[in-house]
Structures are given as structure tokens and as C-alpha cells.
Structure 1
Amino acid sequence: MKWMCIFSLIFLSTSGCVWIEPNDEIPDEDVFSQPLESLGEIEHEEFLRGRALFRRAFDPTTLGPIFNAASCSQCHARDGRAHPSTPGLLYKVDDAVYGAQFQTSAISGVKPEGEVRRSYDTALGDYRDGSTFSLRVPSYELANLNYGPIQNPSIGPRLAMQIAGLGLLEAIPEADILANEDSNDADGDGISGRAHWVIEEATSILRVGRFGWKAAHPTLEQQNAAALVNDMGLTNPVFAEGPCTSLQVECVAAQDAMLEVSQTELDLLTTYVAGLAPPVSKIGPEHRIGEQLFEQATCSACHVPELAPGVAAYTDLLLHDMGLGLADQIQEGDAKPTEWRTPPLWGIGALPAVNGHQMLLHDGRAQNVEEAILWHGGEAERSVEIFKSMSLEERTALIDFVNAI
């Protein structure tokens, strides 16, 4: 037997510990929050301390001065995916006044940058069997701007993703990622994934990006540090400058001159995120036909089942052109507006139990796996046409397989 400690979402302390049997079934809502079995005793202690930090709601006076969320778990509830109606839907911008991310909250005495208004239109389409489908088409508007007119109104919504299994993705050798590159489509299959080469802030070395919707960060430490400063306004050893731009005089005056997150705290957060185990696959014999259809539709060309031995994440961690339908006007590093990193699929079927929804794609526009498939374009357009030509029974089998990954 072992101890299971339940941590408060707000306070840096335990609210109770109980004995459990190692083989006790994990509640469906907690499948993203389990530690890797390989963690040693000291690593597990640091994992628990990091989890407390991850779930801690920071005092509003220590945030900001402008920010989006008060804790990591406010965006990643139960280590899962955000709903578009929460602060977990963030907005990239590229503006001299409003910086690289639009912050909708602020500490007392400082104005937030403004608010984002989101609305949806409906697009209709047909399957080859005569049945129809509808998709939500989002639009966004920046409103109540508190620091003057925005010079570049382009908006890039980014939904916070589930974080289980990221440590295993970080451990994949760069050579294994690069082995799947085909930037010029040399094999003529219409798919041309490429690595996103980015600067590692801690070393100034050019590395393969692998985290975030555009693979903008090469390490979990950098991904976490960027989230701390951009989402919560917490400066740290990797990103020592706060979110205020030089033109936001009121905001700059309220910034703390000292780092707000120490290297020790950043290390603990990174240990926690890296130590989260991916949910156990539920693929069984009943999913054999769906798996074959997944292959026939060439979904596995980008959603590579096993990028490294034992890492069945269904991703190649490469950038792919997904067409104008999913594009925004924000470029991140060398990633074009139409390019997106292939997101891992493991655990995607657990989202309804963990977070109460299955809002997918970079902005949550897709409400389930079916809609997410239909939104694919660009390099995946042929796969979508194959999916549309399937019978209802075949489409259902493919979707059930994806939900079992």
C-alpha cells in the first residue's frame, strides 16, 4: 500500500492523506494527474511539492500587474484542457502597445488591457452518404482597450492543453523527431512536416521546438516559464521582464523589480509537469477496424503512433500547414499562421470525464473529435475527403478509436 495525498487547489498544504492499494482503480476525472511509476522517492516528494505550486492560487498582489489567470490549474484544471469560456483561452497579439499576449485582468490600481469578445457563425457541409454536418466558425474582437488604440488588431487564440505525458515527449531525442521531417514533400504524399527550430532561452542554443500549439518552446522549463510570465505576470529566471510594454506607463510603474518565481520554484513546477504520466490507452480488439481506417485516411502520417519506443502519443511534434480555415494572423517564431504542431492524441477521450467537455483544436472551436477532423485542411485535406467518403459506421469506428488512444 502507499499514501495518496489530496492537495488543496488554493493553499500550499495537504487536506488529507489516505492509504490506497496500488491496484486501486484511478477515478476517471484524475487520469491526467497520476505520477510516472518510474519516479524515485525524492523525485516523488518534489513532484508533490510541484503539484502544490501548480495548484496554488497566487495572491492578486503578487500577480501581474496584468495577467490572465491566478494559478496554473485555473487554465489546466485537473491537469487537463481549458474550456473556451475560461481564462484558459489566451490570446496572442503582436503589437507595440499590447505586447505579445493580451491580458484581461490586473491587480488593484492597474487597468487590464481590455476584454475579448468571442462569437460563432455556423458553416454547413455534407458527407458523401448525403448526411450533413455543421461547424462553429469563431470570430474575436478586442474591446474596451485601456491603453489606447491597438496598432495591429490580429488575434491568435490559444487554448490551454492537457499536460499529462509531456515529460516523455521532452525525453524524445531530436534525431527521432527530425527523422520524420519531409519539408519539401520529397515522397510526394502531400504531407510536408518540418521541425520548428527555436532558441533555448537558458543556453541561447538553437533547438527543436516541441511544446505549445506552434512548438515554440524546446523544453518544459521554458514552456512553464513562458506561461508564468505571460499568463500570470510572474517574472522568473528564464523570463525576467514582466508583461507590461514600455508604452503602458501605469503598468510598468507597478511592476516588482525582484523576480517573483525563484529557480527552485520553477524547478519544482517543471518536475511536476515532467512527472505526469500519460493516461493508459484503452485501445482494444474492438477498435481494430477504427485503427485500420485511421491508417487508410493517412491520419498516422502526422499523428505517428509511436514516435519513440514506449511513447504512444500519436504525434510527430512537427509543424504542418493546416490550411486557411485554421489560420490566424499571428506568426510565432518561424511558424507561419497556417502551420500547427501535430498535437498528441493520447487521453483525448478522457477529456469529458476530466474537464466536462471535449473542446478541441487551438481555440476550442471543435466540440468533439468529428468536428476536429472536419476542420483539418492544407496537408490534411485528402484525409478529410477520405473521412467524408466513409459510411456512418466507419466514421464512428474511426472516432471511437481516436477516443480510445
Structure 2
Amino acid sequence: MKKKVIILGSVLLGFSCADDKEPLPENTTPKKEYSETNAEWFPGGEKGTLFIANSKSYRQPMPFIDDDATLYKQFMRGERLFEKSFVAEAGTAYSGLGPTYIRKSCIACHPSYGGRSKRVDEFDTNDSRNGYLLMIYDPNTPNLALASQYFTGMTQTRAVAPFKAPINEAGIHLEWKNYMDEHDNKYADGTPYSAGTSYEGTLIYPVVTVAQEAILFPDFDMSKHAASIEATIGIYGVALLDAISDEDLRAEHATQQARPYCKGIIGADIDETGLNPYYPGIHPGRFTYLCTRATLDNGPGSNAMWNITNVTRPNRRYHYITEKYSRAMSQDPDVQAALGQTEEEIFANLMSKELTPEMTMEDYEAFMVWHRGLAVPAARNLDSPKVQQGKTLFMEAGCAACHRPSWKTRSNYEPMPQLSDQTIYPYTDLLRHDLDMKEPGRVKVCRTTPLWGRGLMPAVSGHSDKLHDLRARNYEEAIIWHNGEGKPSKEKFRAMSKEDREALVAFLEAI
């Protein structure tokens, strides 16, 4: 069996290596032996953690997969599906793209094998750095409802000829605006935020506008709607989050409701077929920024393998498109002429629930082995006095009220029983909180981001952009944007000395 290159230990967090041809960092710390004393070095638990800290940190299989020939073969098959671009031509490898789509491949949204995309200045889905998804919603509704009658939840901006995109990307404008907070962008000691960087003393936030003429539907009024962007999230370790029991998640929610502040919102109950807030569901949502997905089998990866590319499979034998779009295309003379079909024939095919599957279940199941099997990078430098000081400050500032350090996975997790009964350290409560950010877009109330492994972003992805729209360019700014429920902790961070602020960030980089 040909195993992936593994380097044990830790690296300086400023190291950047996005190109596989660059040399890997040398060993500096030997692999720890798992024990109760050393458990925090294993954020993915004993079975889900890998000691590697370099440009390949987010793409490695969990150790038990590497040691199982059958699982390893499926993992590598799934990885190829993640990497490859799908095409529209039938009868070829990776066929099935379209009729509309968001990206041609998974890695186009998740560069660096699950690393986050980079903040960009222009919405161009051909840009390999741009993992943003576009949301069109009604700002006047209590839940900021998506314009789902016209657009899919994640708005499609590409199409395979002769079909036309619901929105022309040339009409999507992304602008980064400067923001000055009530403290003039300074800490209590007078130091500017992000001191010493090229963007010292500044904060930025995105504003997205969509031109009316860029929209395919003549009866859609963009002036009554709003647009926002959401960056794709890290995907390693998601099976361990899936393995947390519903009962434990509900108990965490109940605990928070009993305290006077920082009361997280639990994800809507979801049935086995998808999000349905009117269904007496059986699982609380825990995936996506808005906790709209409850299990990994119906989670963002399972859905993305279908709805990002519109590639059908045996359990999704229909297109990810709206009836409005299907009607518009079936009535379009250009589409009718190109296909040589009538309006009724085109509409029936676009809306069919019995399309021929373009992806086999074997391929889909292999993809899910890969999706579940991505290891969590081990923690680094936890024995450093500075990191230990930072952990103490993290706790004293109340950060752990939302960024809950540890969970125990349930004892009967399928289909990967190896991940049962694991103590993990994701640093999240899997609940949603209102951080009262300037122009948050549709993600006003956002799931607490898991912090495990994020300190390796500079090494893996070559940047450290953070938060749901990547407005934060480093850990400092991510903390400073915490208002609302997070403001008491943010203000404690602002009041710290420079040495203490650096120690807290060092802790975040280490976990």
C-alpha cells in the first residue's frame, strides 16, 4: 500500500507551502502516546488524529483508514472524486455536469483539501481562490428567507449551453468597505488592531450587490432583495462532529438556556430527507453556518457532491434547480432550437425525478468514506508556557462558553465504529449565536466555528482569513468582530496587555 507522506511534529505557523513541490518542514516534535494526560494533543481523539503539521495537514486519512486496505482504497477513490472536475459530455469519466452548476469540482470550493478559501475582491468562480457561495434573500423576513422560488439555496451562476445561468456573474459586485468601531480600532492600551501588518488599524466587511440586468428572471425585483457571500468551511474531522449524540447536543443547548448570557440557538429539527422545520424531526441541525443539516449522510458534503455540480446519483435522481428556472428555459427559443424539443419536453426533463444516475452509488459511498475519514491535525506546542498562559486567558475571558473545548462521541457510531467513544477537542458548541457584526448578510446568527486545526491555515492555504465571509484577516480581527453575545469576551481581550493578547492567539494557533 502506498501511504501518503507523513511528517510528525510542529512547524512555525508563519510557514506557507501551498505547492506540493516545495520541501516539507522537518520534524520538531515526536508523536505523543495517547493517554488521559496527553488527550488534548489528540483533538480528533485517539482514532481520528494524525501528527502532521505542513501543507498536507488537511488531506490525510485517519490512521485506521491507512491501515485498512479496503478503506484506504475507498478513501483514495473518494479523494479523486473530490479533486476531479466534472464535465457535461455523457459517457466520459466524471460526466454529468449541469444543466446549471456552482462549481465544476469540490476542490474548487475547498482548496487545500478542506482548507478554507481565500478572501477575494471579485466574485469570479473561475478563480481558484474563490470558494464563496452567493445567497439571495429577503431582508424583510424574520428568518431572512432565501428567494427559493427563483434561485437554489446556494445560487447557481454557471450553466452548460444551451442553458443560461440564473445570474450572470458579471453583474455580481463585491466591495470591501472599511469599518471603525467605537474604540477607533485600538486596544485599551492604545495599540492599533493588527499592529505591524500592512492593514494595521483597519477592519473591513463585504457588501454584495447584484445588478437587475444580470438576473435571468424578468419578474424578479432585486431591489426588494439582498445578496451576501458565505465562504466554504473546513471539512476535516466532520465525522467526529457527526458522532456527537443528539442527546448531548440538546443537553448543551439546555445548559446554555439556563444561564443569563450567551444562549445558543439549536439547529432546527431535521428529518431523514432534509431540512423541514414543520416536520417533527429527529435530529437537531449541526452542520453549515445556520445549522441546517443534522447528519453527515444529509450534510453539506453529501449535498455538495450533488448540488454544486448537479451530477445525479441513484438517491438524487433529479436536478438541483427551481421550477421557475425550468419554466424559463423551456420557454426560451434558443434552448428549444438547440435541443430540438418542445417546451413541454424540455420542462418535463428538467423537472424529472427519475433521471438516469450519472454517478454510481459505489463512487458516492467511496466519496463519503473520504469525507468521513479526513483526520484532524494534532495539536502543537501545548507544553509551551506561552500557550499554557493563552489557554488560561481563553478560559478566563469566557471564550469557552461558546467554544466548548471537548465532547465525547457516542458509543454506536456507524458506519465508522472506530470513531465511537472518542474524547475530542473541536472547541465548538455546535449552536448558533448572534455576534452582531456589521453587515453580516444572511448569516446573522452563526454556528460556533470549530477551532481545531485552524492554526495550520497559513501552512496549508497560505492565508489566515476567517469568519463566515472571511472579513477577519487573522485571529485578532476574528476576536474583535465578536460583538453581541461575544462582546464581553471581546472586551476582555481588548483590555489585555500585548503579551497576554499574543499568548491567547498562540493558544488558538496551537489547538
Say how many residue pairs are matched: 381
CA RMSD of aligned residues (A): 2.5
Match of 1:37 in 2: 63
AA at the equivalent of 1:266: Y
Deviations 1:282-335 (A, max 9, x none): 14222011101111111111111112252111111112222253632x4xxxxx
Q: Could you say if the C-alpha distance between residues 282 and 300 of structure 1 is closer, same or farther in structure 2, counting changes exceeding 3 Å?
A: same
3-state DSSP of counterpart to 1:91: strand
Q: Which amino acid aligns with 1:109?
A: P
For 2:255 and 2:308, locate their aligned partners in 1 and report how far apart those are by CA, in whole Å. 32
The corresponding residue for 1:265 is 363
Note closer, same or farther for the CA distance 1:34–1:299 as it changes in structure 2 (3 Å cut). same
Match of 1:323 among 436, 442, 446: 436
More RCO (CA 8 Å, sep 6+) = 2
Mean CA deviation greater in 293-302 or 86-95: 86-95
CA separation of 1:258 and 1:87: change in aligned 2, threshold 3 A? farther
State the partner residue of 2:319.
242
Structure 1 letter corresponding to 2:359: V
State whether structure 2 residue 83 is matched by structure 1 residue 55. Answer: yes
Deviation at 1:367, TM superposition (A): 1.0
Tell me the amino acid that sits aligned with residue 81 of structure 1.
Answer: R
After alignment, is 227-236 or 206-215 more displaced? 227-236
Secondary structure at the aligned position of 1:384 is classed as: helix
How far apart, in 1, do the equivalents of 2:130 and 2:328 lie?
Answer: 23
Structure 1 position 75 matched with structure 2 position 143: no
Q: 1:188-218 CA deviation, whole Å, 9 max, x = no partner? A: 2x11013213323448743111111112111
Alignment-derived partner of residue 303 in structure 2: 226
Please state whether the residue corresponding to 1:350 is helix, strand or coil. helix
Structure 2 residue 370 is the aligned partner of structure 1 residue 279: no
Percentage of identical aligned residues: 30
Contact kept in structure 1, 2:217 and 2:328, CA below 8 Å: no
Deviations 1:340-366 (A, max 9, x none): 111110111111111111111111111
Equivalent residue for 2:168?
114
Q: Is the 8 A contact 1:213 1:341 kept in 2?
A: yes
Structure 1 equivalent of residue 266 of structure 2:
195
Rounded to whole Å, the distance in 2 between the matches of 1:5 and 1:390 is 42
What letter matches 2:85 in structure 1? A
* TM-score, normalised relative to structure 1: 0.86
Report the Cα distance in structure 1 between the residues aligned to 2:51 and 2:488, rounded to whole angstroms.
41
Asked if structure 2 preserves the Cα contact closer than 8 Å seen for 1:321 and 1:340, the reply is yes
Query: In the alignment, which residue of structure 2 is the partner of 1:145?
Result: 215
Distance 1:228 1:92, change over 3 A: farther
Listed one character per residue, the Cα deviations across residues 147-205 of structure 1 (whole Å, up to 9, x for unaligned) are 335345222422111211111111111222222114874222x1101321332344874
Q: What are the within-5 Å matches in structure 2 for residues 126-137 of structure 1?
A: 126-133=186-193, 134-137=202-205
Specify the structure having the higher radius of gyration (Cα). 2
Determine which structure has the larger strand proportion and give its number.
Answer: 1
TM-score normalised over the length of structure 2: 0.69
Question: How far does residue 236 in structure 1 lie from its aligned partner after superposition?
Answer: 3.8
Gaps of 5+ in 2: 6-29, 32-49, 90-95, 121-128, 137-145, 194-201, 331-345, 409-421
**Quick one: which amino acid aligns to residue 197 of structure 1?**
A
Q: Deviations over 1:37-72 (max 9, x none)?
A: 123332222111111111111114421212121111
Closer, same or farther: CA 84–242 of 1 in aligned 2, 3 Å: farther
Q: Equivalent residue of 1:320, what SS?
A: strand
Q: How many Å separate the matches in 2 of 1:237 and 1:214?
A: 28
